[in-house]
Amino acid sequence: MYDLIGDIHGHCSTLKKLLAKMGYEQTSGTWKHESRTAIFVGDYIDRGPEIKETLALVKAMVDEGSAIALMGNHEYNAVAYAKQDDLGNYYRSHNTVHNRQHQATLQQFEAYPDEWNVYLQWFQELPLFLELPELRAVHACWDAAHIDWLRRNNYLTLTDQLLRESNIRGSQANLVIEETLKGKELAIPEAFVWYDKDGHARISNRVKWWKQPEGISYDDFLFSCPPQLKTTSIPGDISITVYPKDAPPVFIGHYWLEDKVPVIQAGNVICLDYSVAKNGPLVAYRFDWENEIEDKHFVYVN
């Protein structure tokens, strides 16, 4: 039986409260449950006040066999920020925006560079997705073609080669990593530019990739839909790979949902990210091999 846990972003005290609420106990320096395994869907770092403590807790659980931890886009970005290409350029540039995004993590590890390097190496060992007979988990988007491409190329984790290839604009590796870890996006009319939580101007929005765009409004299809577009229908020429309704349940994080209590996105799509870094709840779903996903299996703490 599994407990799938959403984005933590350095809020270790909240994570401990959640684990305790679910019956995990701290034994021999790590958190364990006598009959359950935790599955973390990524984004352990950045933003929060206890990033170092969060990584220590999650890694100890993984090392002990009481948890599985997946890669999130923040872990990917951290590796890209730290590593250089053959020309000596960082894969993720050290500009003002990126420096600010990683600021909390870099400050908390400033006096522990060797320890930070251990975690950066560990990030590259984290699975990019998880598929079990009864469930799937990925940080942002499960596209069967992308998952197949990763498998065919033996890219189950972030190898140095995949890091290089995924930072080549327009490459298949770039598309796969961007959508798997950051989600699919739809370009919106330029007149409706909007600004995200980091102040970036956006003319594209993350989409609900489990919904068929035909015949629905922008508000039904997009995350953070600009108010002027809410009732406008999606253009008929938009086509994406939609997650099949008969596929196994897939658990995701990433999307900064703002509901005060967790809700199921679709019958087989469960988002676990409810903006803990913005005073939202830290959310888990207790999966007990049930045939039907139900709200009663959510557990959350603030």
The tens digit of pLDDT for each residue in 138-151 reads 999 999 999 999 99
Domains of the chain from N-terminus onward: 2-142+245-301 (3.60.21.10), 185-239 (no CATH)
Confidence label for 269 from pLDDT (cuts 50, 70 and 90): very high
Neighbours of 86 (CB within 10 A): 6
pLDDT for res 193 = 83
Question: What mean pLDDT is predicted for residues 149-169?
Answer: 98
Greatest CA span in the chain, whole angstroms?
58
For 38-64, how does the pLDDT look when each residue is reduced to its tens digit (9 = 90+)?
999 999 999 999 999 999 999 999 999
Asked if pLDDT for residue 17 goes beyond 80, the answer is yes
Burial class of 50 by CB neighbour count within 10 A (0 to 12, 13 to 18, 19+): buried
Q: What percent of the chain has pLDDT over 70?
A: 99
Asked if pLDDT for residue 191 goes beyond 90, the answer is no
Asked if pLDDT for residue 159 goes beyond 90, the answer is yes
Computed on alpha carbons and rounded to an integer, the radius of gyration of the chain in Å comes to: 19
Residue 255 CB contacts under 8 Å (≥ 6 apart), including other chains? 140, 183, 206, 223, 271, 273
* Separation in Å, CA 141 to CA 22, 87, 134: 27, 32, 18
Question: What mean pLDDT is predicted for residues 222-234?
Answer: 90
- Among residues 175, 259, 173, the alpha carbon closest in space to that of 223 is found at 259
Residue 65's Cβ-side half-sphere holds a number of Cα atoms within 13 Å equal to 2
As given in the structure block, the two tokens for residue 151 are 């498998």
Q: Which residue's structure tokens are 């886009």?
A: 73
Confidence label for 5 from pLDDT (cuts 50, 70 and 90): very high
Strand partners, 56: none
Higher pLDDT residue, 190 or 286? 286
For 120-137, how does the pLDDT look when each residue is reduced to its tens digit (9 = 90+)?
999 999 999 999 999 999
pLDDT for res 148 = 98
pLDDT for res 203 = 81
Asked if pLDDT for residue 200 goes beyond 80, the answer is no
CA 206 to chain CA mean position, Å: 13
Poorest-pLDDT segment among 33-37, 58-62, 117-121, 213-217:
213-217
As given in the structure block, the two tokens for residue 252 are 């995701």
pLDDT for res 291 = 82
